[in-house]
Amino acid sequence: MSFKKINLVKPIERAIAEEGYTVPTPIQQQAIPIILDRKDLLGCAQTGTGKTAAFAVPILQILYNEKNLRDKKRIIYSLIVTPTRELAVQIGESFSNYGKYTGLKNAVVFGGVPQKAQTDKLRAGVDILVATPGRLLDLINQKFISLKDIKLFVLDEADRMLDMGFINDVKKIIAKLPAKRQSLFFSATMPSEIVKLANTILVNPVKVEVTPESPTVEAIQQGVYHVAKPDKKALLIHLLKDPAITSALVFTRTKHGADIVARKLNKAKIFAESIHGNKSQNARQRALNNFKAKQTRVLVATDIAARGIDIDELSHVINYEIPNIPETYVHRIGRTGRAGLGGTALSLCDTEERSYLKEINKLISKPIPVIENHPFVSNKKSEEINKPSEKSKPHAKLKSSKHVDSSKPNKSNRRNKVSKRAWTNRDGN
């Protein structure tokens, strides 16, 4: 199926073509017609599936088609609420890219920066507002924003809103929306509290699910190293000496940990930057831009700072620490292998983290292959984690990858790069 079948208006079709998209991703194929049909939508999709365009493209089309019916004065007609500043910026950029020939304007508001630039933009008039919950409520209370004309509301990454403690803010925002509206609700996972929240927002929604069976993105090679905690830094440095790692996002559990790891890497002459919630918004954006522009090879981040970061062609995700929530693992590794590109996710697991690893293996329904050939092998055997069938062939799943033998950095190990233009539907359509 090509984008032609979706009947996009010319200005949007042109912008999409310029992005290099020819085939809609599965979530786009399903969601765009439903949204254009003006129905509520419950979307269960992980990051990297193309879900931003799945809602941004039809919203732009609806607004573009109704532009002439509305007042000359711009009013906020569509609101997208998302948990993190980085995601908000990215969604705003997506609206700007896909909508560049529509004449529609968007603004992005988020906390941690002075509000003046944001309120100036709002005063000049916008059609679409992308916001994080706290700053949105703040600007509503200051009367810079009114939600009374919202016709299209999107709640993005709802499960993360819950994890980050934003659920009450979200409820306050929903209470301010007009009752008559179209609502789109996206979440990577659907725990019962999220289903309850969705029921309060949506009216007769159409449910769209993308690969709910196996949450791990198929295109991603995975491997885990069992290593004693004190050896983790040395192992990380060892791994990053492999020139095949062209760009790596390294996850730590804490902000402090992110700074320490970045410092150690720099000491070892591996240029790295860190991003986390204690850094100023400008510092975070700068580090992110450097990483996206490939000026920084290694970015060390906490989950919240990295949530939803959209980096094209990220070759490796490295879990310096194993997340205690198994879904977080899926979110983390979803940073690589985006838009049909391959990628590698490596995890460093110490003895204390083995119970977390067990939970992850359960969630993804197959154990992450253990990589035993490295200089810092932990004394404790990995048998506790893996099923017997995996024990005899610890590298079975990674056989095709040269990363298996990490003690020998291999120049020829280039990941299998698939052109953005050649998006292949993972559902096999």
Q: Are 366 and 208 contacting, i.e. CB atoms less than 8 angstroms apart?
A: no
Token pair 């509000």 is found at 115
What is the number of H-type helices and E-type strands within the chain? 16, 13
Which residue, chain included where needed, has tokens 């573009």? 64
Evaluate whether 151 touches 182 at the Cβ level (below 8 Å).
Answer: yes
In whole angstroms, the minimum distance from the beta carbon of 265 to ligand AMP comes to 26
CB of 10 to ligand AMP, least distance (A): 18
Residue 8 or 201 with smaller CB distance to ligand AMP: 8
Nearer to ligand AMP, 17 or 195 (CB): 17
CB of 251 vs ligand AMP, minimal distance in Å:
18
User: Among 58, 52, 122, which residue's Cα sits nearest to residue 92?
Assistant: 52
The position carrying tokens 């399903």 is 30
Shortest distance in whole angstroms from residue 219 CB to ligand AMP = 12
Q: Which is nearer to ligand AMP, 157 or 273 (CB)?
A: 157
Nearest distance, CB of residue 424 and ligand AMP, angstroms: 10
Instruction: Name which of 21 and 64 has its Cβ closer to ligand AMP.
Output: 21
For the CB of residue 429, give the shortest distance to ligand AMP in the complex, in Å. Answer: 13
Between 329 and 423, CB nearer to ligand AMP: 423
Q: Which residues contact 370 (CB under 8 A, 6 or more apart)?
A: 223, 224, 225, 226, 382, 385, 386, 390, 394, 395
Q: Which is nearer to ligand AMP, 53 or 170 (CB)?
A: 53
What H or E segment, with its residue span, contains residue 226? strand 220-226
Compare residues 37 and 312 and give the one whose CB is closer to ligand AMP.
312
Q: How far is the CB of 365 from ligand AMP (least distance, A)?
A: 23
Find the angle CA(312)-CA(86)-CA(43) to the nearest 5 degrees: 80
Q: Output the smallest distance, CB 172 to ligand AMP, in A.
A: 27
What six digits make up the tokens of 155?
A: 């709640």
**Tokens 């002459």 found at:** 269
Rounded CA gap, 295 and 413, in Å? Answer: 21
Residue 147 per-residue DSSP state: -
Which of residues 92 and 394 has its CB atom nearest to ligand AMP in the complex?
92
Residue 19 or 405: which CB sits closer to ligand AMP? 19
Find the shortest distance in angstroms from Cβ 104 to ligand AMP: 19
List, as one string, the DSSP characters of 190-207. --HHHHHHHHHH-SSPEE
Rounded CA-CA distance 131/136 in Å is 6
Smallest gap from Cβ 88 to ligand AMP, in A, equals 13
Chain residues that interact with ligand AMP, rule: CB under 6 A: 21, 23-25, 28, 47-53, 310, 312, 338-339, 420, 423
Specify whether the CB–CB gap between 43 and 27 falls below 8 A: yes
- 310 vs 353, beta carbon nearer ligand AMP: 310
The b/e string for 391-425 (b: 16+ C-beta within 10 A; e otherwise) is eeebbebbeebbbbebeebeeebebeeeebeebee
CA dist., res. 217 & res. 310, Å (int):
15
Residue number, 91 or 236, with CB nearest to ligand AMP: 91
Beta strands in 105-181 (DSSP E): 106-109, 128-131, 152-155
